[in-house]
Each structure stands twice: as C-alpha cells, then as structure tokens.
Structure 1
Amino acid sequence: MRKRPILAEALRLFFPLAAAHGALLPFLWVVAGGYGLPFAADIPPAQWHAHEMIFGTYGMALAGFLGSAVPEWTDTRPARGRTLVCLAALWLPARLVGATGADALSPLAGLFDLAFLLVLSLLLGRAMLARRTTKHLAFLFWLLAFAAVEAGLRYCWFAGETALSARLLETALCIFIVLFSLSASRINVVVINLALDPTGETTPYRPHPGRRHAAAAMTVLYMAAALFLPESGVSAWLALAAGAAFLDRLAEWFIGRAAFKTEVALLALGNAFAGAGFLALGATRLGLDLPPVAGLHMLSVGALGCAVMAVFIIAGLRHTGRDLAHLPWQAHGAALLMAAAAAVRVLPEFGFASGLAPAHHAVSAVLWGASFAVWLHGFLPMLAAPGIGQDTGCEG
C-alpha cells in the first residue's frame, strides 16, 4: 500500500474516526431523530444511544490509544496500513446499524463489534508476547472483558432482557472508567512533568504509589456488585468508596499554576467528574432524590468525555512530533466545549440551572458534537501529515 501518514499508526486513523462519529451522533440522535431512532422497536432507543456512545465513539478512541500506546510501551512495530483499514472496516457496519436503531440487524452488528475488539486484542497480545512482558496485561484483560460485555449485551437485546442489558451498559461504562484510571496513571506522570518543565530535562513530579490503582480497584468492586447484586445496598457504599478514591486522586493535580494548563486541567476535570459521578450513584442508591441517570451522565459525558478529549489532544500532538508547550486554539476550544457539554448535561439533574431543562439534552448534545468537530478541524491536518522524525511506512 502506498505510504500514507494517516495509516502509519492506529491513533492517526482511529482518533479522527472516533471524533467524526462523536460529532455526528448527537445530530442524528437529537436534531434529526428527535430523541428517537427510525427502526428501534423492542430495544429502547436510550440503550441504543448509550451503546453507540460507549462502543462506537469511545470504543474507537480506545482502539486508537491502545493500538499506538502498547507498541510504544513494548517497543514493537505498530499495526499499520491495511491492518488498520481492515479494523476500521470491522467497526463501521455496527455504527451504521446503531445510527438507525435497526433491531433486526443487532446480532449481525454485534458480530462485527466482537470481531473488531477481538482482532484488536490479538494485535495487542502479540506485541506483549513478542517482548515476553506481563506489565501491560491489565489493558488486554479489560479489553477482552469489554468484548465479553458486548456479547452479553447483544444477547440480552435479542432475548428481550432489557433490564439486564441496562446493567451491562453500566458495566461497559465502568470498564471504560477503569481503563481511564489505568491510563491516567501512565499519562499523568508525563503530562504533569512537561507542564512543570517543558524542556523535559527534569522530572519534578512523582505520583503517590498508594493512589495509583485504588480508584480502579474500587470501580471494579462497585461494577461487580451493581451487575450481580442489583438489589443489594452494597453497591451504594462501594460507589461512595470509588468516588472518594477518585477525589483523593485529585491531589495529583496540586502542582500550582501549571494545573491550569488545558491538557492538565482536562485530565483533572475528568477525574473530578468520575469522583462526583460515583458519589451521585451511591447517594441515589441510598435514597437521595436524584434522577437515576444523573451519576451515569457524570461518568459518561463528564469523566469519559473529558478524558477522551484530553488523550486526543495530548497524543495527537506528541505523536505528530509536536510538543505540549504551544497548543493550537482548537485544543483549547475542544476542551472548553467538552467541559461545557458535561456541565449543561448534568447541572439541571442536580437542581442547578433548571431553566435549561428540558432543552439541556439538545444543548449538551450539540456542545459535545461541536467539541469533536473543533478537534477534527485542528488535528486532522496534523494526523494526515508526516510527523517530525516519524516513519510513515504503511505496510499491512
């Protein structure tokens, strides 16, 4: 295949695809569909929407991150060229089905999604095996767990078990939160040190080892309790513990003025939304008068929206040979729009800015889509061009 920079590594192709899907999804859901889907019948449209957000936009973002990060961590050759095109071809059919809510085609779409996740897992596992390393196995484990949840979810839809499928969607969301926590423990060290010393000559920041995996561990415990013991109060207390662990982790961002740099603040905001979201879930399960989805929206739109956008900005610059000292205006704009989308979505659910309701759904969706569109405007030309000092070979 002729050498094309956008096919040189996973994130160059997959990040723009994820962003394009994220920009179009709210338009199809709110503007064109009026909160409905043309062919959705037995499967609740809200579950279609959540699935496409998690397995579509965020799923492709995850593939871009892991597809580039794992080869870098293991010093192995990244997937390129035809391999990336084939992976994208596996991801796309399910997105077309999800855009229309075609219930009858859901099993077929599920097969494509499973193939996409399993092939990606195979590529990552091959890289780890080549270096005989177990250091990054947690990412492979949770990616396979994500695939297992997708299989269970599609079966529940086919069998009409929508109550169980709702819990599986929350499980998929929690898996993403776990992956965010694991990723942040690696990314944050680099990003904060560069914020403190843009030359990269010193590393003044060292994370507290006790905070590294506490939030992820508590999220796993909550996830298991919510899935297998839905009527038990145990999950409520575990949600509060997970929220406390994420809020405790905010201490990592106590670095002075450097904390207000966009790339640093966006990661911190994602962590804060995760903590507040779990606290809201726990409080709701203990009887606080809040909409049941308030905490879930803090996790999905707030925590993961900010985290994914932060990774898009940080990795998009560093993997195209650019530094974080001079962010393009689109980075600041995309970050601001994502934070605004999360705030508009959740504030009315907590009794604040109630004048926005019920239009806050549409306003938040437009801001969310605009965030990805602005990022695409600034970063797609970079990703499609050769990076400084990078090989752009695209052999399959």
Structure 2
Amino acid sequence: MSTSPPRIESTRKPTPAVGYAPFALGFRPFFLAAGIYAVLLMGLWLAVLQGGIDLGAWRPSVWHGHEMLFGFAVAVIAGFLLTAAQNWTGLAMPSGRPLAALFLLWLAGRAGFLVPGLPPGLVAAVDLSFLPLLALALALPIHKAKQLHNYPFPVLLLALTAANALVHLEALGWTRASASLGLYLATYAVVMIMVVMGGRVIPSFTDNKLGTRARRWNLIERLLPAATLGALLAALIAPVSPVTALLAAVVAAAHFIRLAGWYTRKFWAVPLLWILHLGYAWIALGFALLALAAAGVGAAALSALHAFTAGGIGVLTLGMMARVSLGHTGRLLEPAPVMTLAFAAVNLAALIRVLLPLLFPAAYAPGMAAAGLLWVAAFGVFVAVYAPMLLRPRVDGKRG
C-alpha cells in the first residue's frame, strides 16, 4: 500500500478573501497559536534564565521542555493531523464550534502554567485531557475509513499523553523523578511522528513541485519506522550502552540514506522544500549524536536532544506550517521573501544550540540567548506573515 498522501495544496492564483474563518479547519487556529506561543515561550524562557520569573513548583528546565513539547509542538501536530486526516479519509474533521472547543482546551492547558495560584491538580486535569480527545477526533475517521496505516498517529498521541502524565506526577509530588523520563518520552514520540509523516510528505512535495522522482529503497522504507522506534526505546531504557549506540548509529545511517534518495539540487532554489529537507536532516543528525552519547561521549547527550528539538521539531514545523498554510488557504506555493530569512534563522538557532555544548561550552550562556532571539525572530516573522491568511477564508472560495 502506498504511503504517499494525496496532494493537499492548491496552486490557484489568489483573490481577495472577505470575512474571517479562524475555525474553518484545524490548521488555522493551531498553527497561528503555535507561532505566537513559540515567540512567547522563548521570551519567557530567556527571562527565566535571567532570574526575572519564578515558576513556583516547576523546575525551570522542566517547564521549558514541557511547554515546548506539549504546548508548541503538540499545537503544530494537532493542526497538521486535523487537516491532513480530512484528505486521507475524505471525511469531515472538526470545524466551527467543535474545533473551537478543542482549541480552547489546549489554550486552557497553557493558561494553567501562566496563571499563578491555580490548584496543580486542576492544571494537570485540564492539560492531560487535550491529547486523548485529539486522538479520538483523529481515530474515529481513520477507523471509519479503515486506514490501518494511519493508526500509528492516534497511538503516538496516547504515548504523548502518558509522557505528559509522567511530568505532572512529579509536579504534583506523587513521584520523585518521573518528569525527565516524561520529557524524553515526549521528545521521542514527536520524533516518531515526524519520521513517519516526513517520510510521506517530503518526497511527495518535492516531486510534485519539481517534477522529479525520489528514490525509495523498499528495505529501508519497511524497516526504518520499526528500527527508529527500537533505537528510541533503547535510549529510554539504557541511555548509555553499546546496544543503544549501535542501534542509534544504524538508524542515523538509514535516515541519511533515505535523505540521499530524496535529494535533488533543484530544491535549493525552493525555500519551501529545502526547509523540510533540512528539518529531516536534523533528525538524522540527532540519531548520530545519540549514538555518540550512548557510547559515552557525555557532551553529545545535550546536543542530541537539541538536534531533535530545536533542529528537527523547530525547523520541520516552521517549514510545514508555512507550506500547509499556503496550500490550504488556496494560495500559490510561494512564500513571502522574508520567510526565507525566517527559515535561515531557525536553522542557525538550532546550529548554535547543538554545536555550543560540544565545541564551545564556555560560551553556552550567551549562545543560548543568541539562539533564543533567532528563534523568536523566525516564528515572529511567521506570525506577521501568516496571521492574515490563517484568519481569513480561502482566497479560492473553497471551504477549509
């Protein structure tokens, strides 16, 4: 069964959009909120590092990791899956009031961490309720359409729920050291989502735009998801071990081979393509660094984490939001020129976060500030450029 999704973008010339449509389809509220929250979160994190904000019972690093994953990354995933599933299944996904209610639940989960004095149990209950409902909204049409190859997405959303629970259990004082495990589990679940989804859409988008034909090796395509899952589970169970090092190294090589099959130098002329390929390359690099960390190179552990997060999640999500938003609002797949600068900025931010711990540990503090500002600039540009598109109806008059 082919895993390539149907084309989900439009190339019709834009015409003026009238009115507002913030809840016409899932990508609209969640992509806009993800962009705004990416800027807000990083600004707050830089303030925390300067000692300007007290997070109460939450350790700063736990709060930062939790909100980057369950706030920012989950919002992008929700927007993408609620939109893509409509194309996969041919069935309507939540829109209007149901979508608004789901979005407000995500927003309430974020507010729980920003509004002082709320009971921790209430904060946990609200935050933990979003992902199971999102999984249900996705699973029902997938089950109705009998699309077995799409079942991993609801399952991975439930894995994210379990990871979120581990973080909240420590915050509630019910466990002593489960937050770190929860954050790593969440990171690896998001990596799995990106690996599966990236393997579908990146070569498809490239071929559709350039008229090329990506090379796919059947053995790699069949084994890579399972091998990736195995390497990530090994990293959770035994972060430093020869088995984890070997699995991560093999998986890194397989991902680089996969990337080589998709490669064409033509995509360097198309920012909406090279940003996706670079985003996937960060994931492959993350596994290479994970192999070094598992082999005992201690400094590589933090670099591996940020290759997956600042690199894979940051770069791939920005590129995907930029492309999907254009296609699903009926616009030409040509982003504003300033978005090319945003794509460069988010990659430079990731490069700083990954390389500094390895090569220049003494410059870690100023490097974090520089990377944070570049991140804010990248997602700030996205919000400024895309907010009008996401709030207004499609320019081609279609629904969505």
So what's the TM-score if we normalise by structure 1?
0.89
Deviations 1:76-128 (A, max 9, x none): 1121111121112111222123347x697443222222211111111111211
Could you tell me which amino acid in structure 1 is paired with residue 285 of structure 2? A
Question: Could you tell me which of 19, 26, 40 is aligned with 1:10?
Answer: 26
Could you tell me which amino acid in structure 1 is paired with residue 348 of structure 2? A
CA contact (8 A) 2:241 2:295 kept: no
1:248 aligns to 2:264 (yes or no): no
Alignment partner, residue 200 of structure 1: none
1:330 aligns to 2:344 (yes or no): no
TM-aligned CA distance change 1:289 to 1:33, over 3 Å: closer
Alignment partner, residue 71 of structure 1: 86
Question: Could you tell me which of 365, 370, 383 is aligned with 2:372?
Answer: 365
Q: Distance in 2 between matches of 1:359 and 1:137?
A: 43
Q: Which runs of 5+ in 1 are unaligned?
A: 198-202
* Percent identity of equivalent pairs: 28
TM-aligned CA distance change 1:161 to 1:103, over 3 Å: farther
Alignment partner, residue 225 of structure 1: 234
CA contact (8 A) 1:277 1:296 kept: yes
TM-aligned CA distance change 1:138 to 1:355, over 3 Å: same
Count of residues paired in the alignment: 383
Deviation at 1:250, TM superposition (A): 1.6
Question: Could you tell me which of 373, 379, 384 is aligned with 2:386?
Answer: 379
Deviations 1:263-289 (A, max 9, x none): 221122112211222221221221225
1:150 aligns to 2:164 (yes or no): yes
Give the aligned CA root-mean-square deviation in angstroms: 2.5
1:111 aligns to 2:125 (yes or no): yes
Q: Distance in 2 between matches of 1:378 and 1:231?
A: 44
Q: Distance in 2 between matches of 1:188 and 1:116?
A: 28
Could you tell me which amino acid in structure 1 is paired with residue 69 of structure 2? I
Deviations 1:136-165 (A, max 9, x none): 111111111111221233123324645432
Q: Give the alignment of 1:313-352 within 5 angstroms.
A: 313-324=322-333, 326-351=334-359
1:121 aligns to 2:119 (yes or no): no
Could you tell me which amino acid in structure 1 is paired with residue 249 of structure 2? L
Deviations 1:342-369 (A, max 9, x none): 11222211215x6854201111111112
Alignment partner, residue 239 of structure 1: 248
Could you tell me which amino acid in structure 2 is paired with residue 131 of structure 1? A
Alignment partner, residue 8 of structure 2: none
Could you tell me which amino acid in structure 2 is paired with residue 7 of structure 1? F
CA contact (8 A) 1:4 1:392 kept: no
Question: Could you tell me which of 122, 144, 155 is aligned with 1:141?
Answer: 155
TM-aligned CA distance change 1:99 to 1:253, over 3 Å: farther
CA contact (8 A) 2:319 2:343 kept: yes
Could you tell me which amino acid in structure 1 is paired with residue 194 of structure 2? F
Which stretch shows the higher mean deviation, 363-372 or 53-62? Answer: 363-372
Could you tell me which amino acid in structure 2 is paired with residue 34 of structure 1? Q
Which stretch shows the higher mean deviation, 253-262 or 62-71? Answer: 253-262
Q: Give the alignment of 1:268-287 within 5 angstroms.
A: 268-287=277-296
Could you tell me which amino acid in structure 2 is paired with residue 76 of structure 1? L
Could you tell me which amino acid in structure 2 is paired with residue 332 of structure 1? T
Deviation at 1:378, TM superposition (A): 0.9
CA contact (8 A) 2:216 2:261 kept: yes
Alignment partner, residue 145 of structure 2: 131
Deviations 1:217-262 (A, max 9, x none): 2331122223334564432322222222222222133212224421
Instruction: Classify the secondary structure of the residue corresponding to 1:323.
Output: coil
Q: Distance in 1 between matches of 2:180 and 2:172?
A: 13
Question: Could you tell me which of 28, 49, 63 is aligned with 1:48?
Answer: 63
Alignment partner, residue 192 of structure 2: 178
CA contact (8 A) 2:240 2:294 kept: no
Deviations 1:160-218 (A, max 9, x none): 64543212211110111110011112211331113313xxxxx6345333333544323
CA contact (8 A) 1:10 1:63 kept: yes
CA contact (8 A) 2:166 2:181 kept: no
Q: Distance in 2 between matches of 1:11 and 1:373?
A: 18
Deviation at 1:33, TM superposition (A): 5.7
Q: Distance in 1 between matches of 2:187 and 2:222?
A: 18
Could you tell me which amino acid in structure 1 is paired with residue 30 of structure 2? F
CA contact (8 A) 1:330 1:375 kept: no
Which stretch shows the higher mean deviation, 308-317 or 357-366? Answer: 357-366
Question: Could you tell me which of 18, 23, 28 is aligned with 2:44?
Answer: 28
Question: Could you tell me which of 268, 274, 297 is aligned with 1:288?
Answer: 297
Alignment partner, residue 96 of structure 1: 111
Instruction: Classify the secondary structure of the residue corresponding to 1:287.
Output: coil
Q: Which runs of 5+ in 2 are unaligned?
A: 1-18
TM-aligned CA distance change 1:210 to 1:260, over 3 Å: farther
CA contact (8 A) 2:240 2:295 kept: no
| Runs of at least 4 residues off by over 6 Å | none
TM-aligned CA distance change 1:158 to 1:213, over 3 Å: farther
TM-aligned CA distance change 1:99 to 1:30, over 3 Å: farther
So what's the TM-score if we normalise by structure 2?
0.88
